[in-house]
Structure 1
């Protein structure tokens, strides 16, 4: 499978374990509608059990899982087989998130498997130094978010965003940078993209909002507005 071509600026909807089943599907369908309407790339992370259904009932989303293992076809119990993910419709995976860290050896091995199968890798780092180090592995996307800000509604300051963007690009110019820590308002979305990041997104800022669907729509529309401004 060839990797999905990623276009900047993009958006990432990451419900983690907040949504599953029907609620996850409802959110995915809305995201899919927005991706079509605005011709924007949207990563949508799903629970493993929801991959096949959501992939079948959407057409524009980059179906993404929250982790992948390096298991190969054959013996192996209790791990996620990458080939199974691909066949179910997965196109991307997060790796090394603060809530599911992996060793550098594991990261290298899993990324190799992802490359073999055409799965895009969104690698996570919680500091500028770690971002720069992981960027040497040339992931497709880097998430640069301080662990202490995840889920707090507090956004990385502009200096941190700009420094991490530059740190990653200096090592791997073709790696996209996703700034997503604490994103909870359209103002946060604008700030992230204006910092020079290639994309932004959210979890609790969307799924815990009074109206998650409306919040998602407003955030995606803000990315589209900034995209138009950057083209001027």
Structure 2
């Protein structure tokens, strides 16, 4: 018997960093499984792929700065107003990579910028979405960390430290919401074929082909593969999974 994919029918999913490769793939998959999508990204983000991937009646695009608390408060309000007042799923996904430089050459302003988006942005999203879910008595949160949040990565002090912090925030929130109908987990993708990986490869003066040789599976992951993990964690089939991290990296972390 064929296994049916987890339905998300009737659920409202709020996704930050929605115009990026993983955000767009996740929005498309969740919409295909029945969810309404509130897609958040910065002003000027290219949302063409997102708009093509998600039917218009299932999509609300919101422009926001995840590092600004008033803007976060506004995107949460917009999400609640878009599709009946609920937020059933929160994919707390916005993030930037920062430069690739040895720590002695890493500019402080760049370090602060990475932390502002990757840590403060995640924190503010949690601060304003968790109360909504607790009021509802239900909800699933999936934070985006990285394999860089599980091990070291030379030249990536800002990104690496910020993704470790996302794991810590996930664990704190999981304990705060446990037993109240709300769950909080995080994903830790390895190299995923995307603009971000292109940027990191250039910063390391390497190529995708060369880097793929270091992945046990022999290739970069695809955004759609990450989306399937997020959709599972957001579904009712994952109702006893709380406070966990989930690597999706072709066994890369196992080998390090």
TM-score (norm 2): 0.35
TM-score (norm 1): 0.37
